[in-house]
Amino acid sequence: MSPDLPPVVPSVTAELVAALSPRLRKRLDAGVTKLLARPVTRDGDSVRIAVDDDTDVVLHAPGGTVTGADAIHCGCLLAPDCLHRAAAASAAPVADDPPADAPAGTTPTGDEPTAAPETEPADGTAQTDGTGPADGTAPAGIETATDAQRVAARAVFDAAGAVLEAGADGAGAVLQAELLHAAHTARLAGLPRASAAAVSVVTGVRAARSADPGHRLADLTGALAEALGVAHRLPDATGDDLTGLRGTVRQPYRPDGSLRLYGLFTEPVLTATGYAGAVTWTADADGRLYTVSDVAPGGPARATGAADRAVRIGDTSLTHRELSRAGLAVSGATVSPTGRLGAGAGVRAVRAAGASWHAEPLDRLWSVPAADQVARALDGGPDLLFLDVTLAGTVRGTTGDCLLADCAGVPLRLVTAHDDPSLPYRDNLRLLAAARGSRLRIVARLAPGPLPRVLLLATEHPTDPTARVDLGLDRLQHADLPAGAVASPAADVPAADEPPLHLLRRRVHQAVSGGRRVLALGGGASGDGARLRRLGLGTAGDLLDDLHAAAADRSRDSFGRLLPADTARFARSWLAAALYTDTVERSLCAGAWAATAEAPAPARPTEVA
């Protein structure tokens, strides 16, 4: 996947790949690889790929997104049914299908485009997805899924199951196009959540196959579990459960009167979908969080540059970086359910004084006990944590080096929020490791797991408590550290006494990466299932054995030839193991933080807004 190419909506890629002959489909992955190595030039709304000295592929993207197959042109003799057009669409980032009422050539934008972005009309009025009542109802008048929605959900389940069957290593452009076609069908059937989840899987697979620095196997696993889980549950869902599984295309922005906001920090956004920008977090006097975002198609340069662009709200000229240290007075505010501030025509905003993290009203964010903040995040609230920590040096863990800190007696692991080398997260974390013994106030994002672990986003300055550092944008220097600070080598941490859930989690992740074949080779002979049962995780042991059995289940016909694999059975077994692992890990996370929240319902890893 190339961030230099404009995003292409799923229906376009699916249409171009479907038009290829069987012979050309076999050559599509090689064509994508070749195209990614060719020079790309941009001229206004058009992007040109030089296939060779005599042939160019041109993508026309008015509004920044390719929304029709006729917007991709090729100069070769086989056009328009050539391999180059399909390869170009398959190499580009995946955009969201525009809503039915969106003008041609436009696409909504948001912090996470693959998760049904929030948009707001220019006049500030609220809009919803427009999903009408179902064709049929349950005997008691409860709404049920329509026939078209059941068919679309089945298509998403089958296509996502085929990707799981092959694994990210084997899910080439053809399988990706089939899943994109299913995503488009789901969107047309009024299932934006299933559609967005399917798109997330495709973008995750492309990031994995292109060795994108931002790729994380856990994120792809979550996206696949979301797509399969929603598609599996939707046909039999009713009432409010059905409404949640359908999701919404657009979040309604509701009037919220006048707001007095105080800047907290700015976070760069760089997604595997080809979107980049910045999000500035603010809080009001009661501690409620609000965000102002500027995210659009782009790469690392836009992620770092957006912080110096003016925020798009009212007439204020504040940049995101300035807002993170200042304040904002807003009148006629409109706010989405997730706290995003709207930028409608009736919104007015002017610069106001900010506040220190140690002063009211921001100080109250850090006064909430860490366990209560974790409980709130696990129950579906904001996943930002406001913590006071004492740095304890670098430790070596199973997933690499991380910064160890003490948080009110809890040994906390601080890790980078993004691995892309263009963002200074990793360099800043390495420098902070030299400030051992420093007590700092930080902002982090919870990373649920058996051990207390967070993604470090912002911190107060190591030597100046009145200043703060946005770790994804600002670069610390050695002069910023306390006098005498010296980096020390990472220390080995004794293995924690925790349930061996990693035995199941490892197999779940292996299936996503390598497909069914990596689990079918060893069958259930490894003894991990029996070990889990001996240690009190009987359900985990049974799920692991069932996963191995489903992977190895291949029948033969009377001539000894292998019959087609039961993809659906393997997908259901994998989904059960993935949801169980996620739910137990969240419960263990609550226990590790001494949180008292109830264990959450089976997780929805990429909940559509």
List the domain boundaries for the chain: 10-91, 113-246, 363-492, 502-592
pLDDT of residue 446: 92
Picking from 243-257, 413-427, 567-581, which range would have the lowest pLDDT averaged per residue? 243-257
Average pLDDT, the chain: 82
Res. 452: pLDDT tops 80: yes
Between CA 100 and CA 424 the distance in angstroms is 40
Does pLDDT of 140 surpass 80?
Answer: no
Say if residue 194's pLDDT is above 90.
yes
Residue 135 has pLDDT above 70, yes or no: no
Distance of CA 155 to the CA centre of its chain: 22
* pLDDT at residue 366 in the model: 95
pLDDT of residue 526: 62
Confirm whether 10-91 and 363-492 share one CATH topology: no
Which token pair is 162? 């085929």
Cα dist. 204→148, 200, 234, 515 in Å?
Answer: 27, 6, 23, 15
Residue 186, CA atoms < 13 Å, CB-side half-sphere: 36
Full strand arrangement of the beta sheet holding 289-297? 289-297, 275-283, 254-270, 327-335, 348-352
Q: How many CB atoms lie within 10 A of CB 50?
A: 14
Between 359 and 52, the more confident residue is 359
pLDDT of residue 435: 86
When pLDDT is averaged across residues 128-150 and rounded to a whole number, the result is: 63
Decide if pLDDT at 98 tops 60. Answer: no
pLDDT in tens, 517-570: 888 875 454 688 888 888 888 899 999 999 988 888 877 777 777 777 788 999
The pLDDT of residue 123 is 39
Distances (CA, A) of 358 to 322, 387, 465, 466: 18, 12, 8, 8
Looking at the domain that runs over 10-91, which CATH code has it been given? 3.30.310
Tell me how far apart the alpha carbons of residues 456 and 444 are, in angstroms, rounded to a whole number: 5
Q: Which top CATH class is 363-492?
A: mainly beta
Query: Which tens digit of pLDDT belongs to each residue from 101-131?
Result: 333 333 333 333 333 334 443 333 333 344 4
Instruction: Give the position of tokens 């299933």.
Output: 194
Instruction: Give the pLDDT band (50/70/90) at residue 42.
Output: confident
Q: Backbone phi, then psi, for 496, in 5-degree steps?
A: -75, 150
pLDDT in tens, 482-491: 876 665 555 5
Band (pLDDT 50/70/90 cuts) for residue 64 is: confident
Q: Which residues pair with 394 in a beta bridge?
A: 403
Query: Could you give the residue ranges of the DSSP H alpha helices within 102-216?
Result: 147-170, 173-188, 192-209
pLDDT attached to residue 396: 67
* Helical (H) or strand (E) element with 558: none
Q: What is the mean pLDDT of residues 19-39?
A: 89
Alpha-helical regions (H) of 396-527 = 425-432, 502-514, 516-520
Q: 0.85 exceeded by the pTM?
A: no
Report the side by side order of strands in the sheet with 56-60: 40-43, 46-50, 56-60, 72-74
The pLDDT of residue 365 is 95
